[in-house]
Chain A
Amino acid sequence: MKAKKDLALYGVKAMLPIIPGLIPFGVIMGSTAATNGLSFFETMGLNTVVFAGASQLASLDLMGKNSESLIIILTGLIINLRFALYSAASSPYFKKLPNLFKLMMSYLLTDQSYAVMTTHEDEFSSKNDVIYFCVGASLFMAVCWHLCVVLGFVFGNIVPSEISLDFAVPLSFMALTIPTLRSAKHIAVACISMVLSICFYKLPFNLGLIVTVAICIIVASIFINKDPKQKSEVVDG
């Protein structure tokens, strides 16, 4: 086993190329919070309590439309459902850790930390090495995220308007999706999701996302049931 510090620093290094994609996201989260009238305390509270940018932006949007709390919570939880997938993928590494350490690693699970973990996990000889690599990568990501949100909140949109920085948000959601589309069926589900979400955009109570995702999951389960036996991806629980 290598030194913990070196492993954590390697995690930071592995996270670096992902950070530029995070910057516009965080800055927009901060400036959107400011324009929606949130105080600095509320903004950082939202950022700390939820710590999941996509659902935070969706919540701000829905709060701005005075949506029901229940709808906002459900929408946010559906957006964050993917963390269960990340939790399953990282659980073999964190199995033997003390509970408080496990809690910290759970809290720090993000799209970015998962992406970095899955691309580097095969490089390590022991599971313990992966743990400290993940500590470094995910703590670094968390620090950068909070800093970007503070920047966005304090300076508003610092980037000149000729560059459509807000467009970076849908672009980053897209760029997070494409690498997960590992079969034609995944691509089909993504296409159905795009079309339905546009059709259901005007649904009352802002139920569009919830209904779209529900239908997509049903379609995916039909795909799976029709699937002839094939080798499945092993998620060691």
Chain B
Amino acid sequence: MGNSYFWGTIIPLGIGTLLIRMSFIFFGKHLKLSEKSQKLFSYIPAAVFPAMFAPMTFFYQGSSEALLGKERVLAMLFAIGVSFKTKSLLISILAGLILVYFLK
């Protein structure tokens, strides 16, 4: 991997990420959030995270013949149910891992 490509990418990403983290802690006085933007903010995790875990799960080719290699999709759906029920990070992850262990 080229050095300038690597550092030229991650340094701006790092600075931008730090600025996002600093935003309200440093400039809270000047950044008055309207009620609407506050509500919009609450949708950010719902917009971003599923766009990451859905393709990672859906396009993974597994080994279960009965499920056409899509055992992770089934395990993910199960883990989503567990997560709704328990809200626990650890229990949800374990539920998904254990089910996929038995399915594949």
The interface of chain A, by Cβ under 8 A from chain B, is 17-18, 20-21, 24, 36-38, 42, 45-46, 49-52, 54-55, 58-59, 63, 69, 72-73, 76-88, 90-91, 94-95, 99, 102-103, 105-107, 109, 115, 162-165, 167-182, 185-187, 189-191, 193-198, 201, 208-209, 212-213, 216-217, 220-221, 223-225, 227, 232-235, 237
Contacts and interface: CB of A to CB of B under 8 A. Distances in A.
Main secondary structure on B side of the interface with A: helix
Contact of B20 (A45, A63, A87, A193): A87
A122 B48 CA distance: 28
Given A42-B1, A87-B24, 7 more contacts: A36-B1, A45-B7, A76-B17, A79-B48, A172-B93, A212-B51, A221-B36
Main secondary structure on A side of the interface with B: helix
Contact of B39 (A18, A38, A95, A232): A232
A220 B29 CA distance: 26
A195 B60 CA distance: 16
Contacts of B49: 54, 173-174, 176-177, 190, 193
15 contacts: A18-B89, A20-B93, A21-B89, A42-B6, A72-B9, A84-B23, A85-B41, A177-B45, A191-B50, A193-B50, A209-B48, A213-B47, A216-B43, A233-B42, A234-B38
B86 to A, nearest CB: 9
A198 B87 contact: no
Contact of B13 (A73, A179, A193, A217): A73
A234 B103 CA distance: 44
B32 A73 contact: no
Closest 6 CB pairs of A and B: A216-B47, A49-B14, A170-B53, A220-B43, A197-B51, A193-B50
From B25, B36, B79, name the one whose CB has the most chain A CB atoms within 10 angstroms: B25
